[in-house]
Amino acid sequence: MIDPTSDRDAERFLRIAKMAERGRLTVYLGAAPGVGKTFRMLQDAARRLAEGVDVVVGVAETHGRSETAALLEPLEVLSRCVIDHAGHALDEFDIDAALARRPGLILVDELAHSNAPGSRHPKRWQDVAELIVAGVNVATTINIQHIESLNDVVAGFTHVRVRETVPDSIFDHAELILVDLPPEALIERLEAGKVYLPETAERALANFFTPLKLAALREMALRFAAHSVDRRLSDELEISGEKSDFVAGERLIVAVSAGRGGAPVVRHAKRLADLLHAPWTAVVIESASARAVRGSQREQLADNLALAASLGASLMTVAADDIGAALVDQARQLRASQIVIGKSRRTRWFEWRHGSVAQSVIRKARGAAVHVVPLDEADEKPDKRREVSTVSENSVAVLLVAITVGILHLVRPWIPPGAIDLVLLLPVIIAATRLRLRAGLWAAMAAALSYNFFFTEPYHTLFIHSPAQIVTFAVLAVVAIVIGGLAGKVRRQAETSAGVARLNASLARFAGLMGGLSGRDETARVACREIGGLLDLEAIIVSLEDNRTVVRGNDAYGRIDVVDEAAFRWAIENGVATGRDTGTLNASDWQFHPLKTSLGTMGALGLARPSQERVIRPDDAVMLASLVDQTALAHERIVLEGQARQVDALHERDRLRGALLGSIAHDLRTPLTAVIAATEAIPVDGDYAEEVRIARAESRRLQRFLNDLLEASRIEHGTIEPRWESVDMTDIVTSVVRDLRQDGPEARVSTRIDSDCPFVFSDPLLLRHVLINLVDNALKFSPAGSPVDLELDYSEGRALCRVLDRGPGLPEDMEGLFERFHRLEGGDRVGGSGLGLWIAKNFVEAVGGTITAGNREGGGAAFAVSLPVATGQETDHGLSHA
């Protein structure tokens, strides 16, 4: 016989050996930039270095903070590799050098960083994964908003979607160190200029770094860290094979019974879970006695399970004979800290005969608090039909023994006396395996008495004269009882295993069918057919499309009546089961279960049974929960596939539109150049002077529009290649004013240039195009005759160019202002192609700058372009990656 314990030990050994070959990952997690992740990582690295660990810095971003840079001085820093991309020389983490060096610990900052095109991996987390597989220990940093599973949640309340994300799987075996800082302290650091430059910090405080958003991010980071620590603890306990009687974090498990007292126990568990802010699970222990329950008690069990599900509990069914041991074992597997169980009023005689489940749980539970809910009324008495069934089974068992005795009388001359007691064990085994355990025990007693009465001297009496026959009788009675008990136990275990196997096979088959479908109608039809067959009922799928109720999946039911529709709408709006046999809108013929997914509620699964019995039988409650979840996931997959196809179509449409616009702009550019030259040659005097001026202005405006189309095509195709050189911004500003014909006596653009502003290292053509777009935009949407200010300043090591007008300004909601074809309707910023600001943003970012928008004091819009100044250390391909 194979020992399963040895198999588990071997599996644990293999897992330990595999983990020993991998490097360890330490992640410093923060709620937001500026909490001190890199600083803490470098502090710990210095301590490890003092302890004799070989520590090397692969990447560490100081962000210009002197105290962080000081921590780098005693550490060895690997040289970075230079990646040439589109004329830029970009410095990236050198993974080959790290693998060749193989330090005891390597620091790789900013786990979510995207590597430059041409690197071995597109993402830095992939570099880290390769190091770990190679057996190198890695320490890294990340903010909570970069975790893939939390990206949508963070974007929901910050209104900022982070594009660089890291999959959750990278944290499965990582040690998480939370670097925590209260929102007030982080805001103080931001205001003191310790996180961003002053102008950037001001924008951050007004948008991302608000106290409310920082508090929410902090809570998410704390929860993620706590969940990670708990998961790591569970993994380590599983690998070590230790028996864990302690828990970390509150979890609650409640035993649901078939009696009327199950509902108060479930409600008590819900209240306790709310007080502890803990997840909770409702467990049904399917023992032999529980499976024998019929009638009203079985319906009550279904009601109790439905109540638990409606209150937010996870449902679970466990097959076992010992209810107390199974409940405690399940609590250990779920690492539950609280066990809730009810206790009905029972007589001492009943508890002495049958035992007390509550007392059993209290004795066996270690490390978990047991809450015993006293019930005022005892559970219902067993059904009379069950008692009749038991009596008949006992009679059959005794009859089997009688038949065996009769056969033995007929064949007695041909069998030895010592074989008679063995033959009498046959009806005991048959009764225990084919009937119930109690029938087997009745057969055992009948067999022992029959042996004494018919086959021992003196015959036909219950007296035994020979000591040897007394021993034989006693042994036969004990063996018969033991064999009957064991046979009954094997039968129950076989029934349980068969039931579990059928359930798993049904769910696996259903999941396989759902995974191969591609249409919504086909998915609904297959789902309703399979669910109806598994649960022996009618099924439909109802959805709300354009505020119209659509019924799918069952041709026999093309529509639902008013009451059913009200129940359906309540189900999808409130996310709970409604309709027949529920606590809401019971008059409906259907019972509706919402199909909830991460995208929202996809609709509802409607279930009905033609007869008056319950729609969902108690045995089917857990299976139904799995079927509903899989049906919802299948519909979610179809929706996501449809959205992906739409996105592909939009991308193709955008590509064709860009190609068309670029082609049109190229074809119109030559004749437009001729038109501009002709208008410039016409003297501005005589009777048509005003018309000539209009022709010149409009032709130049059309030329700028065509240039925008051409530049948009360059941006979409990724062909922007800045030509780097030291640029005097004074020349750029003068050129822009001249090109816009704003250098004459009637000019509306006033300039203010800081004489101390140094050169910037950039592309003069791109900067000129940016400023032309911004100034032209300000002139177009400012009141006639009002001036536009063009200012150039030098501050905090950067050149800052501002374009200010005196119009009504920008609306409060400026989301999407710099998106392509975005036009803010309903205000002063209307008209145009919707490309100017998008082009300006892309050009500014291409030369390493930033562009922001806002409203100036006293009214009007303000656009600011921040550019890095020339330091003399730049290469011909761009800025050095300091």
CB < 8 Å & 24+ apart, contacts of 830-836: 830/781, 831/780, 831/781, 832/777, 832/780, 833/705, 833/708, 833/709, 835/708, 835/709, 835/711, 835/712, 836/708, 836/773, 836/774, 836/776, 836/777
Could you tell me the pLDDT band of residue 43, with boundaries at 50, 70 and 90? Answer: very high
3-class DSSP state of 81: strand
In terms of domains, do 567 and 480 share one?
Answer: no
d(CA 881, CA 12): 46
Neighbours of 220 (CB within 10 A): 18
* pLDDT for the residue 875: 47
Could you tell me the pLDDT band of residue 795, with boundaries at 50, 70 and 90? Answer: confident
In terms of domains, do 204 and 73 share one?
Answer: yes
Q: Identify the helix (H) or strand (E) that includes residue 364.
A: helix 357-364
What is the mean predicted confidence (pLDDT) over 828-849? 70
Instruction: State the number of CA atoms in the 13 A half-sphere of 321 facing the CB.
Output: 12
The residue to which tokens 């018969």 are assigned:
480
What are the structure tokens assigned to 689, written together? 């002077």
CB 661 within 8 A of CB 709: yes
Give me the number of domains the chain comprises: 5
- Give the range among 198-207, 214-223, 397-406, 741-750 with minimum mean pLDDT: 198-207
DSSP notation for 184-252: HHHHHHHHTTSSS-HHHHHHHHHTT--HHHHHHHHHHHHHHHHHHHHHHHHHHHHHHT------SS--E
Listed residues 629, 648, 683: the one ending a domain? 629
Q: Is the pLDDT of residue 230 over 80?
A: no
In terms of domains, do 764 and 835 share one?
Answer: yes
Q: Is the pLDDT of residue 500 over 80?
A: no
Question: Per-residue pLDDT tens for 263-296?
Answer: 888 888 888 888 887 888 888 877 655 555 555 6
Task: Count Cβ neighbours within 10 Å for each residue of 855-872 and write b for 16 or more, e otherwise.
Answer: beeeebbbbbbbbbbbee
In terms of domains, do 73 and 157 share one?
Answer: yes
Q: Output DSSP code: residue 450.
A: H
Strand partners, 545: 548
3-class DSSP state of 69: helix
What are the structure tokens assigned to 41, written together? 């990582």
Neighbours of 765 (CB within 10 A): 13
Identify the top-confidence range among 152-161, 468-477, 478-487, 564-573: 564-573
Share of the chain above pLDDT 70, in %: 75
* pLDDT for the residue 345: 72
* pLDDT for the residue 846: 81
SS (H, E, C) 323-343: HHHHHHHHHHHHCCCEEEEEE
What are the structure tokens assigned to 539, written together? 């099924």
Q: Could you tell me which residue, 96 or 826, shows the higher pLDDT?
A: 96
* pLDDT for the residue 203: 61
CA distances (Å), 236 to each of 25, 173, 231, 525, in order? 15, 10, 9, 45
Q: Identify the helix (H) or strand (E) that includes residue 397.
A: helix 384-411
What are the structure tokens assigned to 622, written together? 């857990």
In a domain, 671, yes or no: no
* pLDDT for the residue 56: 93
What is the mean predicted confidence (pLDDT) over 368-382? 70
In terms of domains, do 147 and 273 share one?
Answer: no
In terms of domains, do 616 and 755 share one?
Answer: no
CA angle 160, 165, 171 (to 5 degrees): 130
In a domain, 659, yes or no: no
Listed residues 179, 214, 239: the one ending a domain? 239
3-class DSSP state of 878: strand
Helix, strand and coil percent figures for the chain, each rounded to 5: 50, 15, 30
d(CA 372, CA 272): 12
Task: Count Cβ neighbours within 10 Å for each residue of 461-494 and write b for 16 or more, e otherwise.
Answer: eeebeeeeeeebbeebbebbbebbbebbeebbee
* pLDDT for the residue 821: 59
In terms of domains, do 367 and 445 share one?
Answer: no
What is the mean predicted confidence (pLDDT) over 303-308? 77
In terms of domains, do 99 and 53 share one?
Answer: yes
In terms of domains, do 215 and 267 share one?
Answer: no
In a domain, 505, yes or no: no
Strand partners, 340: 254, 371
In a domain, 651, yes or no: no
Listed residues 629, 651, 675: the one ending a domain? 629
Q: Could you tell me which residue, 580 or 619, shows the higher pLDDT?
A: 580
Task: Count Cβ neighbours within 10 Å for each residue of 672-692 and write b for 16 or more, e otherwise.
Answer: beebbeebeeeeeeeeeeeeb
Q: Is the pLDDT of residue 543 over 80?
A: yes
Identify the top-confidence range among 212-226, 235-249, 865-879: 212-226
The CATH code of the domain that includes 604 is 3.30.450.40
Instruction: State the number of CA atoms in the 13 A half-sphere of 41 facing the CB.
Output: 34
CB 522 within 8 A of CB 536: no
Could you tell me the pLDDT band of residue 18, with boundaries at 50, 70 and 90? Answer: low
d(CA 682, CA 689): 9
Amino acid at 423: V
Neighbours of 319 (CB within 10 A): 19
d(CA 307, CA 291): 20
d(CA 659, CA 710): 10
Q: Could you tell me which residue, 15 or 536, shows the higher pLDDT?
A: 536
- Give the range among 132-136, 238-242, 537-541 with minimum mean pLDDT: 238-242
d(CA 16, CA 59): 30
Spatial CA neighbour of 575 closest among 539, 535, 602, 615: 602
In a domain, 692, yes or no: no
* pLDDT for the residue 245: 52
In a domain, 506, yes or no: no
Q: Is the pLDDT of residue 351 over 80?
A: no
Domain that residue 428 falls in: 391-492
Question: Per-residue pLDDT tens for 87-141?
Answer: 667 788 999 999 999 999 999 999 988 888 878 888 899 999 899 988 899 999 9
CB 311 within 8 A of CB 264: no
Q: Could you tell me which residue, 829 or 634, shows the higher pLDDT?
A: 634
3-class DSSP state of 419: helix
d(CA 523, CA 510): 11
Question: Per-residue pLDDT tens for 196-210?
Answer: 655 555 666 656 667
d(CA 26, CA 131): 13
d(CA 578, CA 573): 11
Q: Is the peptide bond before 458 cis (omega within 30 degrees of 0)?
A: yes
Could you tell me the pLDDT band of residue 17, with boundaries at 50, 70 and 90? Answer: low
In a domain, 660, yes or no: no
In terms of domains, do 223 and 252 share one?
Answer: no
CB 330 within 8 A of CB 361: no
Question: Per-residue pLDDT tens for 683-719?
Answer: 777 777 777 778 877 777 777 677 766 666 666 666 6
d(CA 627, CA 246): 34
Neighbours of 206 (CB within 10 A): 10
Roughly how many angstroms between the first and final C-alpha of the chain, as a whole number?
A: 67
How far does CA 590 lie from the centroid of its chain? 32
* pLDDT for the residue 436: 63
Could you tell me the pLDDT band of residue 58, with boundaries at 50, 70 and 90? Answer: very high
In terms of domains, do 539 and 599 share one?
Answer: yes
Identify the top-confidence range among 41-50, 411-420, 503-512, 622-631: 41-50
Question: Per-residue pLDDT tens for 654-667?
Answer: 777 767 766 776 67
Share of the chain above pLDDT 90, in %: 6
Question: Per-residue pLDDT tens for 65-88?
Answer: 778 888 888 899 998 888 876 666
723 Cβ contact partners less than 8 Å away, ≥ 6 residues apart: 87, 763, 765
Question: Per-residue pLDDT tens for 417-455?
Answer: 777 777 877 777 777 666 666 676 777 777 777 877 777
Could you tell me the pLDDT band of residue 45, with boundaries at 50, 70 and 90? Answer: very high
d(CA 436, CA 559): 48
For the chain, the average pLDDT equals: 77
* pLDDT for the residue 719: 60
d(CA 462, CA 468): 15
Strand partners, 606: 540, 592
Spatial CA neighbour of 592 closest among 623, 612, 610, 569: 569
The CATH code of the domain that includes 268 is 3.40.50.620
Q: Is the pLDDT of residue 248 over 80?
A: no
d(CA 117, CA 69): 28
Q: Is the pLDDT of residue 878 over 70?
A: no
29 Cβ contact partners less than 8 Å away, ≥ 6 residues apart: 37, 141, 142, 143, 144, 176, 177, 178, 179, 221, 224, 225
In a domain, 715, yes or no: no
The CATH code of the domain that includes 195 is 3.40.50.300
| Phi/psi-derived region of residue 738, left when phi > 0, alpha when psi is between -120 and 50, beta in every other case | alpha
* pLDDT for the residue 717: 61
DSSP notation for 487-540: HHHHHHHHHHHHHHHHHHHHHHHHHHHHHT---HHHHHHHHHHHHHHHHTSEEE
CB 810 within 8 A of CB 827: yes
* pLDDT for the residue 509: 76
Q: Could you tell me which residue, 252 or 483, shows the higher pLDDT?
A: 252
d(CA 173, CA 24): 8
CB < 8 Å & 24+ apart, contacts of 2-5: none
Rg (CA), the chain: 39
In terms of domains, do 270 and 343 share one?
Answer: yes
d(CA 303, CA 263): 8
3-class DSSP state of 300: helix
d(CA 253, CA 234): 18
